[in-house]
């Protein structure tokens, strides 16, 4: 399976995609399965982010083969930190970076929740965070925890999910995100949800108070 970058300086370039669910070698392990963001949804998303990405520090959580992070780098992001739990998919991220000729990235192979806590403890900061776990994760407490951690690390969080799932209107960041001397931790408010086919993304801005929903059919 291959994935084509939709726009920017790498527009039209092809990434090595994730292993197919079934092959002559048998089904791929669950940890190595990934669902690259559909081209139509990606184009909608990056049209919205057009002014957010130039010079941005990007975090791509549950990165798969790095589709969203590489799309961000293609559109002007300064650097991207990929977090992916599968060593095999991590190697594909490195291969794709070499194919594109970019060194503006860092790769961490590990569990997203554990790495989020480590980044918070280390004082890491990002401008934009992408969060694209397996869609069923959103139905569990882990999905909310991932979103809370991402909100604590970046003022703009993009969460990809099934179009049938209703994303929360407001998310309070983990207590670890609370700035010293502040009365309460930061929060993120959903300012936009856009759908395309069976996929959707919701944008959260830290500390905003208004909500806007824009649905594409």
Q: Where are the beta strands (DSSP E) in 28-111?
A: 57-61, 79-84, 105-109
**What is the pLDDT, as a whole number, of residue 184?**
63
Distances (CA, A) of 178 to 31, 75, 97, 165: 32, 31, 34, 29
Mean pLDDT calculated for residue range 52-77: 97
Q: Where are the beta strands (DSSP E) in the chain?
A: 2-4, 14-16, 57-61, 79-84, 105-109, 128-131, 156-162, 170-172, 187-196, 199-206
pLDDT tens digit sequence for 130-185: 999 999 999 999 999 999 999 999 999 999 999 999 999 999 987 665 554 455 67
H/E stretch holding 118: helix 112-122
pLDDT at 15 > cutoff 60: yes
Q: Rounded distance, CA 6 to CA 173, Å?
A: 32
pLDDT at 41 > cutoff 60: yes
pLDDT at 5 > cutoff 70: yes
pLDDT at 61 > cutoff 50: yes
First vs last C-alpha separation in the chain? 26
**What is the pLDDT, as a whole number, of residue 93?**
97
pLDDT tens digit sequence for 80-102: 999 999 999 999 999 999 999 99
What's the pLDDT band for 38 if we cut at 50, 70, 90?
Answer: confident
pLDDT tens digit sequence for 189-216: 999 999 988 999 999 999 744 443 343 3
For the chain, list the domains and their CATH numbers. 2-206 (3.40.50.150)
């Amino acid at each position: 399976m291959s994935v084509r970058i939709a726009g920017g300086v790498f527009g039209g370039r092809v990434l090595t995609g994730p292993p197919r669910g079934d092959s002559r070698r048998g089904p791929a392990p669950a940890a190595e399965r990934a669902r690259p963001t559909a081209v139509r949804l990606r184009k909608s998303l990056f049209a919205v982010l057009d002014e957010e990405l130039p010079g941005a520090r990007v975090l791509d959580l549950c990165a798969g083969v790095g589709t969203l992070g590489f799309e961000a780098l293609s559109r002007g992001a300064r650097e991207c930190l990929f977090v992916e739990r599968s060593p095999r998919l991590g190697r594909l991220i490195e291969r794709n970076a070499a194919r594109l000729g970019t060194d503006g990235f860092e790769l961490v192979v590990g569990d997203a929740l554990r790495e989020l806590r480590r980044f918070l403890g280390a004082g890491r900061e990002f401008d934009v965070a992408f969060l694209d776990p397996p869609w069923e994760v959103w139905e569990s407490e882990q999905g909310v925890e991932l979103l809370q951690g991402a909100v604590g690390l970046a003022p703009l969080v993009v969460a990809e999910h099934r179009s049938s799932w209703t994303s929360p209107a407001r998310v309070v960041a983990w207590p670890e995100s609370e700035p010293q001397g502040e009365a309460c931790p930061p929060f993120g408010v959903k300012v936009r949800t856009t759908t395309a086919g069976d996929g959707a993304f919701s944008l959260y801005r830290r500390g905003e108070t208004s909500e806007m929903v824009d649905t594409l059919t």
